[in-house]
Amino acid sequence: MTTAPDYTDKIPNNVNLREDRRLQRALESWQPDFLSWWDSMGPALPTRDVYLRTAVNVGREGWAHFAHVPMRDYRWGIFLAERDPGRQIGFGEHKGEPAWQKVPGEYRADLRRLIVIQGDTEPASVEQQRNLGATAPSLYDLRNLFQVNVEEGRHLWAMVYLLHAHFGREGREEAAELLRRNSGSQDSPRILGAFNEETPDWLSFYMFTYFTDRDGKYQLGTLKESAFDPLSRTCEFMLKEEAHHMMVGTTGVDRVVERTAQVMVENDTDDVAGLGVVPLPVIQKYLNFHYSVSLDLFGGETSTNVANYYTAGLKGRWLEDRRADDHRLTDDSIMVDALIDGQIDQTEVAALTGLNTDLRREYISDCQSGVNRWNKILASAGLPQRLKLPHVAFNRKVGAFAGIEVSPDGEQLTPQDWEQRNGQWLPTDVDKTYVRSLMQPVHERGKIAAWIAPPRNGINGKPFDYDYVHLG
C-alpha cells in the first residue's frame, strides 16, 4: 500500500522505503551518482532558484506543491499511484488473474528490458536540453524547461526504484548504466534514436515536447496496463507529470505559429526570414523532422517482441479497458503498413504482432489534433497556408520503410532524388543557423523574445511577468 510521503527521508517516497533498509541503502548510494550526473549533464545555466512544482502526494487533489527552490535541492522522490488491492490483469494469457506484486521469473528479462528502455529516455532528454537555458525566450519558458528537466529526473528515479527493488544485482547494474550512457555519445549512446538527436534551439524543444514526449505518453499508457503492478502504478503517476510537458510543447508551437502569422499579416508577406520570426516552411520542416523520428520510437510495424509482451501481460494497449474485444487477440488480425514488391502498401497480419502499429496509429491521430490547432491559428489570422503531418513513410529509420526514401506526400524517390530534395523537407544547416540566430536570451522579468508570442496564462495562476526564475 502507499503511505503519505515522508519528506524527512533523504529520498521522499510513498513506498515505505524506511522499512526496507537494504533497498533504502542501495538507493541512497545511487543518489550521489545521480546528483553528480545532474551537475555535469543537467541544466547548464546557473540559477539561484526556480518556481517549481514538486510532487508531494499522489491523490486526485493537491499532489503538487509550488515554490521557489534551488534546482539541486529539488526533492526527487519515488511516488507510485495508490494500490488497488483487487486489481486484476486486464489482457493476455493471464487475463483475470491478480496483478503481480513481484516479477515472475519467466518475465524477468523482458520486464527489465522495458524498464531500462523507458528509464534510458528520461535522463537522455535532460542531456539533450542541457544548454537551452542560455537562450530562453522568457523567464516563463525558462521555468517550464527546468520543470520538464527535474521531472524527467524524477522519472529516471521512478525506473531506478523498480530496478533496485525488483531486479537484484542486475537491476542495480542497469541503474548505474542509465547514468553512464549519454545522449549523442559515440561510445555509449542512448538506446533509442530520437534521444541521440540534438535539441539545439527552442523550436526544437517545443517540437520535441510535442512529438517525442507524446510518444512517452503512449508508451507509459501501455506500461500502465502492465500486470506488474508496481510498474503500472509508477507509470500512472508519471502520466500526470507528463501532461505538463505536453502542454509546454503544444502551447510552445502555438505561440511560434501565432507570432509568425502576426508578422506575415502585418507585413503582408510570406517572406518573414528577415523580420525576426520563423518562416512557416521552416516550422513545417522542424515538424517533419520531429514527427518522423518520433514515429520510429514505436518500433517495427510488426514485432514478435510486442506480441510476446502483450501475451505475457507486460505491456498492454492504449486504453486497454475501453477496447471491445477479448483482450487476448489470439484470433484477430490487423492491417499494417508494409513494403510489398518495393511499393508502399498494407498487409494483413496477426493482431498481436501488429501492436506497435496499433499504438502508432493512436499516436498519429493525437498528433493530428495539434496540427489542427496550429492551422486554426493560421486560419484565424486570415492566412491560407496550412501545416501538415508528413506521410508515415517519410524519413523513417525503423520499420518497414527504413530502406526507402519518400517525400512528405508519400511519393517514392530514388536515393539521388532524396539527396537532392530532402533540404526542402528537413531543416538544412541554413535553416538551423537562422533559427539559432533568433535565439537571443531574454532573461528579464516580464519580457519576451520577438519570435514567439507570450503565453495566454502563467503558471499556477501567476502572471506572465512573475519572477519564475532567479538567475545565479
Residues making contact with ligand BYC (CB under 6 A): 114, 117-118, 121-122, 125, 152, 192-193, 212-213, 215-216, 219, 296-300, 303, 305-306, 315, 356, 398
Closest separation in Å from C-beta 454 to ligand BYC: 25
C-alpha cell of 381? 489570422
Nearer CB in complex with ligand BYC: 122/141: 122
| Cα 320 to Cα 225: distance, rounded to the nearest angstrom | 7
Closest separation in Å from C-beta 166 to ligand BYC: 16
DSSP-assigned letter for residue 1: -
Nearer CB in complex with ligand BYC: 166/259: 166
Residue 301 exposed, middle or buried by CB count within 10 Å (0-12, 13-18, 19+): buried
Closest separation in Å from C-beta 276 to ligand BYC: 29
> Which alpha helices (DSSP H) does 42-103 contain, by range?
none
Nearer CB in complex with ligand BYC: 54/121: 121
Phi and psi angles of residue 10, each rounded to the nearest 5 degrees, phi first: -60, -40
| Cα 459 to Cα 83: distance, rounded to the nearest angstrom | 30
Closest separation in Å from C-beta 192 to ligand BYC: 4
CB atoms within 10 A of CB 247: 16
Contact call for residues 449 and 431 (beta carbons, < 8 A): no
Nearer CB in complex with ligand BYC: 115/272: 115
Which residue type does 410 have? G
Nearer CB in complex with ligand BYC: 153/390: 153
Q: In sequence order, what are the beta bridge partners of 50?
A: 69, 469
| Cα 376 to Cα 261: distance, rounded to the nearest angstrom | 11
> Which alpha helices (DSSP H) does 82-212 contain, by range?
108-128, 139-166, 168-180, 202-207
Long-range residue pairs from 262-267, CB within 8 A, at least 24 positions apart, any chain? 262/381, 262/453, 264/381, 264/383, 265/381, 265/382, 265/383
Closest separation in Å from C-beta 447 to ligand BYC: 28
| Cα 67 to Cα 92: distance, rounded to the nearest angstrom | 44
Closest separation in Å from C-beta 135 to ligand BYC: 20
Nearer CB in complex with ligand BYC: 332/409: 332
The residue nearest ligand BYC at its CB is 299
- Closest Cα to residue 30, out of 119, 145, 124, 121? 119
Closest separation in Å from C-beta 179 to ligand BYC: 15
C-alpha cell of 58? 499522489
Nearer CB in complex with ligand BYC: 10/397: 397
Nearer CB in complex with ligand BYC: 222/260: 222
Contact call for residues 438 and 264 (beta carbons, < 8 A): no
Q: Can you give the three-state secondary structure of 347-405, one letter per residue? A: EEEECCCCHHHHHHHHHHHHHHHHHHHHHHHHHHCCCCCCCCCCCCCCCCCCCCCCCCE
Nearer CB in complex with ligand BYC: 334/378: 334
Cα–Cα distances (Å) from 222 to 33, 87, 155, 218, 294, in that order, read 30, 16, 16, 6, 16
DSSP-assigned letter for residue 422: G
Q: In sequence order, what are the beta bridge partners of 469?
A: 50
Closest separation in Å from C-beta 37 to ligand BYC: 15
